[in-house]
Structure 1
Amino acid sequence: MYQKFVQAINQKKLVLLKFDSYEKGVISRTCVPFDFGPSRKYKDGQDRYHFYDLDSPSSNHNLSILPSQIIDIKILDKSFEPKNYVTWNPIRWFLKRDWGAYS
């Protein structure tokens, strides 16, 4: 999963994420892959996959998923532009990438 995730970041490709949400069971979402590492939201120090959920029924939002929750990551043919999704100053990504000003 990790290699697919890194590949999607480097190629700026959307992914189809299938994961166990624990609360709602298995969910599939089209997402922008953001990063892999500790979360600012969850203070437990565990590494998580960070995505931006594009098709949640409630609203688009960030997802931070533990590796044990990931069932599958499929790289889609559709590309994304980081400038459309990175709305903060990306001071430090955990995974290196070449996203220009958004790296």
Structure 2
Amino acid sequence: MDKQMLLLFADAIQRKRLIRVTFITRSGEERSRRCAPLDLSPSERAKIKFYKYHMWDLDSEPKPHLLSLNPEQVIQLEVTAESFMPEQIVTWTRKNPWTIVRDWGNLS
């Protein structure tokens, strides 16, 4: 796992900044998406618990959805100047569900 990318991702979470992530799809295509970073944690549904970058994909069609990427899929991660409001995205959480600590008010 790229430590610099992890630090950028955690910083974007802390500052509530959108990211631009460029990644390789499972089919081998390169894609770039504007996303709200959510966490770095094992996927709850996966049988083998590897850490993944979890983010809210704002560019997906027909509507935004959760995007979970293995670290080796991520080519580039850029923190943008655009902010997001977690309460407009996160509607499914349990108390303290996050691996990366943050100050998101009642969503922390």
Report the residue type matching 1:81 in the other structure.
Answer: M
Segment drifting more, 61-70 vs 34-43: 34-43
Structure-1 separation of matches of 2:8 and 2:94: 22
Counterpart of 2:87?
Answer: 83
* Number of residue pairs the alignment of both structures matches: 103
Identity percentage of aligned residues: 38
Structure-2 separation of matches of 1:42 and 1:2: 21
Report the residue type matching 2:105 in the other structure.
Answer: G
In structure 1, stretches of 5+ residues that fail to align are none
Cα-to-partner distance string for 1:24-50 (whole Å, 9 max, x where unaligned): 511000000000010112221000000
Segment drifting more, 13-22 vs 50-59: 50-59
Q: What TM-score, normalized to structure 2?
A: 0.90
In structure 2, stretches of 5+ residues that fail to align are none
The runs of 4+ residues in structure 1 deviating greater than 6 Å are: none
Structure-2 separation of matches of 1:27 and 1:59: 17
Cα-to-partner distance string for 1:8-64 (whole Å, 9 max, x where unaligned): 000000000100012251100000000001011222100000001001133211011
